[in-house]
Amino acid sequence: MKSFRLACTVNGERVEREVVSSRSLLEFIREDLGLKGTKEGCGEGECGACMVLVDGKAVNSCLMMAVQLHGKDLVTIEGIKGKAGGLHPLQKTFMAEGAVQCGFCTPGLIVASEALLRRKPRATLEDIKLELTGNLCRCTGYEKVLSAVEKARDEKNA
């Protein structure tokens, strides 16, 4: 099978790896890099559990091939941190609001919310709802997730 020398940035660090052309970005993240915070739910672009930031944009890593990451900047949930490496504001508000139950969807929800708040720091509730339509949660009922994102937005803008 054809392989390719992939060079990219992962959570701020330069990474070079040999990857086969059929490897998905999700497989590369979980199996090759060992970053298990990115989850595999549906494997077909429906649930958002595998969401990561590529050049600052939220993407479903199950739908992207690893070779497409060449020359790009990848941030996974492990790279989303607060000041001095502590908890990120979204992680704090998700905990405070009780927006996490089993936690399977949480990395994807935080990645999607982070992408939105970077792009649109004063995102409205409607913006947040729209952004998170690609992230399915079978546990929380979404209300707590929405209020956690609103609180993180407000803290960021305070």
Residues that bind ligand FES (CB under 6 A): 40-43, 45-50, 60, 62, 100-105, 137-140
CB closer to ligand FES out of 48 and 89: 48
CB closer to ligand FES out of 62 and 90: 62
User: Least separation, in Å, of the C-beta of 4 and ligand FES?
Assistant: 22
Q: Give the span between the Cα atoms of 47 and 72, in whole angstroms.
A: 24
User: Least separation, in Å, of the C-beta of 140 and ligand FES?
Assistant: 5
Pairing of strands 73-75, 3-10: parallel
CB atoms closer than 10 angstroms to residue 38: 23
The CA–CA distances, whole Å, from 25 to 16, 86, 123 equal 14, 27, 29
User: Least separation, in Å, of the C-beta of 84 and ligand FES?
Assistant: 27
Q: Are 73 and 54 in contact (CB under 8 A)?
A: yes
CB closer to ligand FES out of 60 and 93: 60
User: Least separation, in Å, of the C-beta of 101 and ligand FES?
Assistant: 4
- The b-or-e profile of 86-118 (16+ CB within 10 A means b, else e) is eebbbbbbbeebebbeeebbbbbbbbbbbbbbe
